[in-house]
């Protein structure tokens, strides 16, 4: 049963994030918007998500191997994002000449074939988020920005010292494909650092070996395993900051 609710600024920020990332699992919604680990935060997160779902702004499904719910924007949510954009962003309004904000299209169904990869990218972004790196482009945004490139990063983190391309590799790729990725990131203007996160030592060694063969790259490069990144993200952030500061 739905009840009338007022959409808050935090709700609207959630709608924006879901539109950019396609979907989020409930633990990541909590991490991004409800301060994470406290029981009261989790309860408030779940209550708000239920209200937004009951009012048809969100779609909730269970997916993957997890018992946690996954949320994505409904058609109503996408329309609300477009229609109310300038109410929540009045400084971006240009009076009568303003163009309607164009959201990414409604996702008809969950992209289960890419679920684990998309979820892992969101987990990585959540680490950056809590490390105070909050300006980013998602792959949906990068595809709009770099239409001439067949290869784009999974994330692009924006900083005042340079942009960080994040690549999340869960499955083995051919050496040719890895080489193409590294060379493309050398061509994309504005990339100062590439964080290449690998699911397993074999992928890590392959990427590192190919980078060594290529030789000079015009960006800083760190190749490491995903588990190591999630264990000590702040160590990684400090290394990135040191590299960007000296570049």
The arithmetic mean of pLDDT across residues 72-84, rounded, is 95
Strand, helix or coil for residue 215 = coil
pLDDT in tens, 125-150: 999 999 999 999 999 999 999 999 99
| Domains, the chain, ordered by start | 9-110 (1.10.10.10), 114-246 (3.40.91.50)
Tokens at 164, concatenated? 């960080």
- pLDDT tops 60 at residue 199: yes
Q: Are strands 163-169 and 191-198 parallel, antiparallel or unpaired?
A: parallel
Q: Of 185, 176, 111, give the one whose Cα is nearest residue 151.
A: 185
| Beta strand segments in 24-179, E | 24-25, 58-62, 69-73, 136-138, 155-157, 163-169
Crossing angle for the helix pair 9-21 and 115-130, nearest 10 degrees? Answer: 130
Q: Are strands 155-157 and 163-169 parallel, antiparallel or unpaired?
A: antiparallel
- pLDDT tops 90 at residue 67: no
Q: Is residue 19 within 8 Å of 73, Cβ to Cβ?
A: yes
pLDDT in tens, 145-172: 999 999 999 999 999 999 999 999 999 9
pLDDT in tens, 205-240: 999 999 999 988 999 999 999 999 999 999 999 999
Kindly tell me the burial class for residue 15, based on how many C-beta atoms sit within 10 Å of its own C-beta (0-12, 13-18, 19 or more): buried
- pLDDT tops 60 at residue 47: yes
User: What's the rounded Cα separation, in Å, for the pair 230 and 122?
Assistant: 12
pLDDT of residue 28: 95
pLDDT of residue 65: 60
H-helix or E-strand spanning residue 237: helix 233-246
Q: Is residue 134 within 8 Å of 39, Cβ to Cβ?
A: no
95 pLDDT tier (thresholds 50, 70, 90): low
Phi-psi region of 85 (alpha: psi -120 to 50; beta: other; left: phi over 0): alpha
- pTM summary value: 0.90
| Better-predicted residue by pLDDT, 229 or 63 | 229
pLDDT of residue 44: 92
């Amino acid at each position: 049963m739905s009840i009338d609710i007022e959409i808050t600024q935090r709700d609207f920020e959630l709608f924006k994030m879901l539109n950019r990332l396609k979907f989020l699992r409930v633990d990541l919604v909590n991490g991004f918007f409800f301060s994470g680990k406290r029981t009261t935060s989790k309860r408030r997160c779940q209550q708000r998500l239920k209200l937004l779902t009951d009012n048809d702004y969100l779609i909730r499904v269970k997916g993957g191997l997890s018992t946690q719910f996954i949320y994505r924007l409904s058609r109503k949510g996408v329309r609300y994002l477009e229609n109310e954009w300038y109410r929540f962003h009045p400084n971006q309004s240009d009076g009568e000449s303003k163009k309607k904000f164009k959201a990414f299209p409604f996702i008809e169904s969950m992209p289960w074939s890419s679920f684990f990869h998309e979820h892992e990218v969101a987990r990585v972004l959540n680490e950056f988020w809590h490390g105070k790196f909050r300006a980013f482009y998602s792959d949906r945004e990068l595809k709009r920005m770099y239409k001439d490139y067949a290869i784009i990063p999974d994330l692009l983190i924006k900083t005042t010292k340079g942009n960080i391309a994040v690549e999340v590799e869960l499955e083995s790729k051919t050496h040719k494909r890895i080489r193409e990725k590294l060379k493309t990131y050398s061509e994309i203007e504005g990339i100062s650092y590439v964080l290449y996160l690998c699911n397993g030592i074999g992928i890590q060694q392959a990427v590192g070996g190919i980078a060594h063969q290529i030789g000079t790259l015009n960006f800083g490069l760190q190749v490491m395993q995903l588990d190591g990144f999630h264990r000590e993200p702040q160590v990684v952030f400090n290394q990135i900051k040191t590299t960007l500061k000296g570049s």
